[in-house]
Structure 1
Amino acid sequence: MITLAHISDIHLSPMPAIRPRDLVGKRLTGFLNWKLKRHGELNSETLAQLVAHMQGQNADFTAVTGDMTNLALPFEIERAGDWLRALGASDKVAVCPGNHDAYVPGALATAQEDWGDYLKGETLEGEAFPFVRRVGDLAIISCSSAVPTAPFMAIGRFEEKQAARLARILKLMGDAGYFRTVLIHHPPNAELQHPSFGLKGHRLFRQVIAEHGAELVLHGHTHRSSIHHIPGKDHEVPVIGVAAASAAKGGTIDDPARYNLFRIERAGEGWQCTMREFGFQRLGSEIVMRMQMRIY
């Protein structure tokens, strides 16, 4: 049996000291959004409590589906690297980047350099994404939908070259008998698309999954707990989102902070997989198991 923890939308706070010259272009609107709305809804205390609880589960592997930072300032990227190293060793933690990690041109490249092995694995064609981590019977396949966008936009992109590599990886891992878990920051299912914050290329992503199959897709971005399905090669594939890990208990914008824990094991020629969701309720101050369900 393998246990896989899933956490997302870290949004490390507090915001560092901001200089006027830092607030150029999109960072200005993002900073104003933080000050006027987000700074009271996303906080480090909530995040620390949730992570401590999650680490107590001693999962075999942890998947982080992006948005480590807020404005992708150099200090934020460095702080996120420190946070990852405190979360766990790089051979037991993998990240797929979010739109806030690629907030402005060049930010994602800086994050890739600073976060190092947390954003690396086995790849094809020398390209950074998708990369693969293999843990027992589990194959974690980390895609990237993170691109810089215009102010007031939070879209992601999934394009044909990455899709072709993902298709090859899914076939290779499927033929080898792995439980294929695909990470992507933006949700790929049709129900959660929006012109200003959806995934450009969501149909292409679903087409790859439909043709080559997968066992599980994990995402963040929406700051909501959600369960959907998309067509796979042999069966419907669960698409599971998790609330922001720093979302305050009693906040009004997002679901309170949560993480998911999956238990995965072979069952004959198939799989058994159960999911438990842990986190805060809208009322109360304790982390509880909010849900348990069988995926396979």
Structure 2
Amino acid sequence: MITLAHISDLHLAPLPQVAFSDLVGKRLTGYLNWKLKRHGELNTETLTRLVAHMREQNADFTAVTGDLVNLALPAEVERAGEWLKLLGESDRIAVCPGNHDAYVPGALDLAVDNWGDYLKGETLEGETFPFVRRVGDLAIVSCSSAVPTPPFLAVGKFEEKQAARLDRMLQILGDAGYFRVVLIHHPPNAELQHPSFGLKGHRIFRKVIANRGAELVLHGHTHRSSIHHIPGKDHEVPVIGVAAASSAQGGTLDDPARYNLFRIEKVGNGWSCTMREYGFQRIGTDIVMRMQMRIY
């Protein structure tokens, strides 16, 4: 049996020292949003407690589906790299980037350089994404939907070239009998699309999954716990989102901080997979198992 933990949207706080010269373009609106609202709803104490609880599970692998930072300032990116080292060794952790990690042009390149092996794996055509990590019968495929956007937009993008590489990877991994988990920050299902924060290319992504199949798709971005499905090659594929890992209780928009733990095991010619959701309730101070369900 293999255990896979899923955590997302860390939004590491507090912000580092911000110079007036840093607040150009989108970073200005992001900074104001943080100061006026988000700093009270996303906090370090919540994240620290949740991660400590998650680490006690001793998962074989951890998937982090983006938004480690807020404004993608160089000091934030560097701090996120140090945080990843505290979370665990890079051979047991894979990151897919979120829109905040690519907040302005050049930010994602800085993250790739700084976070090193946490954002690397087996690739095709020498491109950074998607990349693959393999642990026993489990294959984690990390895609990127992270692109810089104008102020007031948080959309992602998934294009044909990345889709072609994902298609080939899923075919190879499927033929080899792996349990394939695809990571992408923005949700790809039609129910969660929006002009301001949806995924451009969501139909392209779903077409690949429909043609080649996968066993799970994991995402973040919405700051909500959610379970949807999209068509796969042989069966419907669960698409599972998780609440922001730093989301404090009492927020007006987000679910309280949570993480998911999957237990995956080969059973004959098929799979057994159960999911447990752990996290804070809206009332009470304890981290509890909120839900358990069988995926396969």
Q: Smaller-chain TM-score range? A: over 0.9
CA contact (8 A) 1:180 1:214 kept: yes
Match of 1:168 in 2: 168
Output one character per residue of 1:244-270: Cα deviation in whole Å (capped at 9) or x when no partner: 000002222200000000000011100
Alignment of 1:96-245 (within 5 A): 96-245=96-245
Output one character per residue of 1:84-127: Cα deviation in whole Å (capped at 9) or x when no partner: 00000000000000000000000000000000000000000000
Letter in 2 for 1:90: S
**Following TM superposition, by how much is the alpha carbon of 1:159 offset from its aligned partner in structure 2, in angstroms?**
0.0
- 2:41 equivalent to 1:61: no
Partner SS state of residue 276, structure 2: strand
- 2:268 equivalent to 1:268: yes
In the alignment, the residues of structure 2 paired with residue 30 and residue 172 of structure 1 have an alpha-carbon distance, to the nearest angstrom, of 41
In the alignment, the residues of structure 2 paired with residue 156 and residue 134 of structure 1 have an alpha-carbon distance, to the nearest angstrom, of 26
Partner SS state of residue 140, structure 1: strand
Partner SS state of residue 197, structure 1: coil
Letter in 2 for 1:179: F
Output one character per residue of 1:220-278: Cα deviation in whole Å (capped at 9) or x when no partner: 00000000000000000000000000000222220000000000001110000000000
CA contact (8 A) 1:220 1:243 kept: yes
Partner SS state of residue 240, structure 2: strand
In the alignment, the residues of structure 1 paired with residue 145 and residue 250 of structure 2 have an alpha-carbon distance, to the nearest angstrom, of 30
Letter in 1 for 2:10: I
Partner SS state of residue 58, structure 2: coil
Match of 1:255 in 2: 255
Match of 1:73 in 2: 73
Letter in 2 for 1:220: G
Letter in 1 for 2:265: E
In the alignment, the residues of structure 1 paired with residue 249 and residue 54 of structure 2 have an alpha-carbon distance, to the nearest angstrom, of 17
After TM superposition, the runs of 4+ consecutive aligned structure 1 residues lying more than 4 A away are none
In the alignment, the residues of structure 2 paired with residue 177 and residue 101 of structure 1 have an alpha-carbon distance, to the nearest angstrom, of 33
In the alignment, the residues of structure 2 paired with residue 92 and residue 231 of structure 1 have an alpha-carbon distance, to the nearest angstrom, of 29
CA contact (8 A) 1:251 1:282 kept: no
**Structure 1 vs Structure 2 CA RMSD:** 0.4
Letter in 2 for 1:259: Y
Partner SS state of residue 235, structure 2: coil
Letter in 2 for 1:33: N
Partner SS state of residue 91, structure 1: helix
Output one character per residue of 1:189-233: Cα deviation in whole Å (capped at 9) or x when no partner: 000000010000000000000000000000000000000000000
In the alignment, the residues of structure 2 paired with residue 125 and residue 213 of structure 1 have an alpha-carbon distance, to the nearest angstrom, of 22
In the alignment, the residues of structure 2 paired with residue 6 and residue 14 of structure 1 have an alpha-carbon distance, to the nearest angstrom, of 23
- 2:46 equivalent to 1:84: no
Partner SS state of residue 91, structure 2: coil
TM-score, normalised with respect to structure 2: 1.00
**Following TM superposition, by how much is the alpha carbon of 1:37 offset from its aligned partner in structure 2, in angstroms?**
1.0
Task: For structure 1, list consecutive stretches of 5 or more residues without a partner in the other structure.
Answer: none
Partner SS state of residue 40, structure 2: coil
Task: For structure 2, list consecutive stretches of 5 or more residues without a partner in the other structure.
Answer: none
Letter in 1 for 2:32: L
Partner SS state of residue 166, structure 1: helix
Partner SS state of residue 243, structure 1: coil
